[in-house]
Amino acid sequence: MGSFPTGLQGSNAKLATMNTFFLFHANDAISAHHAMPREWLCSNVLKNVPHRHFVFSIPKIIRIYFLFDRKLLADIARIAWEVLALYYRNAVNKGNIIPAAAASIQTFGDFLGFNPHLHILAADGGFGHSGMFYASHDNINAEELEPLFRHKVL
């Protein structure tokens, strides 16, 4: 059993909605029914640094394209990563840092209807070339991420 990185506990959450794009950010990184992947991530992938959980979703009106062309899901994952990486590079004022994250694509929602979205567990900051971790500030404003994600998707 691995230890949980700092920043995974707590129940603070923020939901930002604008023009039906959703970006959810929470300190509760992974729920209890994902215990095995959580333990594997903590033991084998994640460094013992603060992390944040992000969920990127897309509007219902364009979901049908993802239903019939699953390759688009990889594009959404790449776009979400580009948005988060850019955000963390700008949030940490330590030169050329390297952000880090683990992502999971899901295609179902609460009622098992088609709802393509991404869960991204990101290190809350970035790593310098020496391996030193530089944390970002505490206030992640999801409203700053959402317009860039929307622009890149559309």
Q: Any idea which residue has 């930002």 for tokens?
A: 16
Domain boundaries, the chain: 13-153
Q: What is the mean pLDDT of residues 27-32?
A: 41
| Adjacency order of strands within the sheet including 51-57 | 13-18, 21-26, 51-57, 114-123, 101-108
Mean pLDDT of all residues in 98-117:
86
Mean pLDDT on 69-84? 93
Q: What mean pLDDT value characterizes the chain?
A: 75
Q: What is the mean pLDDT of residues 96-121?
A: 87
CB 121 within 8 A of CB 41: yes
pLDDT band at 74 (very low <50, low <70, confident <90, very high): very high
Question: What pLDDT score was predicted for residue 48?
Answer: 87
d(CA 129, CA 73): 31
pLDDT confidence band for 35 (50 / 70 / 90): low
**What φ, ψ does residue 38 adopt, rounded to 5°?**
-65, -45
Calculated CA dihedral for residues 54, 60, 65, 69, nearest 10 degrees = 40
**pTM, 2 dp:** 0.72
